[in-house]
Structure 1
Amino acid sequence: MSDDKAIFEPQTDDPFEQFRLWFAEAEASEVNDANAMTLATAGSDGRPSARIVLMKDYDESGVVFYTNTESQKGLQLAVNPFAALLFHWKSLRRQVRFEGAVTPVTAAEADDYYDSRPRNSRIGAWASQQSRPLADRATLMQSVERFSGEYPGEAVPRPPYWSGYRLSPLRIEFWHDGAFRLHDRFVFTRQAEGQPWSVQRLYP
C-alpha cells in the first residue's frame, strides 16, 4: 500500500528563503563543502561542460562563484552567458537546481572576496593558467615560487583575469528523495528578474 503523505512541501513562496532553510540543514549535515555545486556551461558550439565549483555568496539577486575568467567556463560564459547550477546534498537526499543568466560581479565584490582568501590561494590565482596545458607539476610549482617572490608580503593584488559571476535564476527546482522513486519535486519560475515567482509541483 502506498503512502500518499508528502515528504516535502515548500515552507515559503520565496525560493531563496526555501534555499536558505535547506542550505542551513546541509551545512549541519554534510561531511564537507555543503556549498559545492555542479556548474554547467556551454560555448558557442552548444556542447555542455560541467564541473564542481563552490558557492561563495547568495541572495535574492542570485548565486555567486569565482574563477579565472580565461578558464574554459569563463570563455564559455563570455560567448553564452547562461548556466545551470546543481546542489546535491547526499546526506539529506536533496538537490536544488538553478537556471538563468550569468553576469560578472562588480570589481569591488571581486576585490573583497579575493582579499579574504588565504595568501597561498591568492598566489595560486597568479601561478595557474587555469584550463591551459601544463607540462608537469614542477612547472606549476616554479610559477608559484616566482609569484611568491614577486609578492612577498600579505598584499597580493587580484589578477585582472580573476573575478566572479552571479547566476540570476529564472528557474529554481527543489527535489527530495522518496521511496520507490516517488520523489517530491517543486519548481519555482518567473518571467524575468524582479518579477513574482510561481510554484508548481512536478511528477517525479
Structure 2
Amino acid sequence: MTDDPFTLFDTWFAEAKASEPNDPNAMALATADGQGHPSVRMVLLKGHGPDGFVFYTNRDGRKAGDLAANPNAALLFHWKSLRRQVRIEGPVSLATEAQSDAYYASRGRDSQLGAWASEQSRPLDARETFERRVDEMKARFEGQDIPRPPFWGGYVVAPKQIEFWQDRAHRLHERRLFVREDGGWTEGLLYP
C-alpha cells in the first residue's frame, strides 16, 4: 500500500506492460467542447509523473478544439488482463515546445510524415487523397530531418483526482480515490 498515487500508478503500469498483449499505454481521453458536448477517443500515454499525464496530437483537430474551449479532461486506463482500471481527472495544459520537439524527434519517419499530411478530424474525400499527401511530404522532406509541424504537440493532464479500481469476486470491487488538496494528496475508499 502507498499513499502516493504516482507510485501506485507506476506499479500498476509496469504490471500492465508485462501482461497486456497490446498497447498498455492506451487510454481513453474524454473532453467536452464549450457547450459541454462530450467526446471520447483512445490516445497513447507518452509520459507521466507528478506534473501529469502526457499525450501528443494535432492541435488543429477536434480534441484540441475541445481542450481550447474547455481545458479539462478525463483519462481512463483499462487493463483487462489485470482486471484493473485507473481514472484520472484534471485540467489540461500544453506541453512545452522542448517536450513536443523531443517526443516528435523520437517518432518513426512515417509517423512524422503522417503528422504533416493529416488534417486530423477534417472530412476526407478518399483514402487516396491522404496517401497522396503522405507521398508529397515524403518528397518535400527527402534526405532531411523532418521538423515538428507547428500545429502538432503535447498536452499534459494534471490530475486533481486519481481512482484505482480493482476487480473483486461477486462485484465487490475495490476503489481507492486520491484527491489533490493543498499541494498534497488525500486518500479514501469508494463503494463499488
TM-score of the two chains, using structure 1 as the length reference = 0.93
SS, match of residue 197 in structure 1: strand
Displacement of 1:153: 2.4
> In structure 2, do the counterparts of structure 1 residues 176 and 154 end up closer, same or farther at CA, with 3 Å as the change threshold?
farther
Displacement of 1:134: 0.2
Contact 1:36 1:52 in 2 (8 A): yes
Whole-angstrom distance in 1 between the partners of 2:29 and 2:5: 19
Determine which of 137, 140, 150 is the counterpart of 1:147: 137
**1:20-71 residue CA offsets vs partner (Å, 9 max, x unmatched):** 0000000000001000000000010101100000000001110000000111
Alignment partner, residue 111 of structure 1? 101
AA matched with 2:131 = M
Determine which of 80, 87, 91 is the counterpart of 2:77: 87
AA matched with 2:41 = R
SS, match of residue 184 in structure 2: coil
**1:160-179 residue CA offsets vs partner (Å, 9 max, x unmatched):** 10000000001000000011
SS, match of residue 63 in structure 1: strand
For the pair shown, which has the larger CA radius of gyration, 1 or 2?
Answer: 1
Counting only pairs closer than 5 Å after superposition, residues 33-182 of structure 1 correspond to structure 2 as: 33-182=23-172
Gaps of 5+ in 2: none
Contact 1:119 1:154 in 2 (8 A): no
Determine which of 6, 13, 17 is the counterpart of 1:27: 17
**Displaced runs of 4 or more, over 4 A:** none
Gaps of 5+ in 1: 1-10
- Compute the RMSD of aligned alpha carbons: 0.7
AA matched with 2:186 = S
What is the count of residue pairs matched by the alignment? 192
Q: In percent, how many aligned pairs have the same letter? A: 55
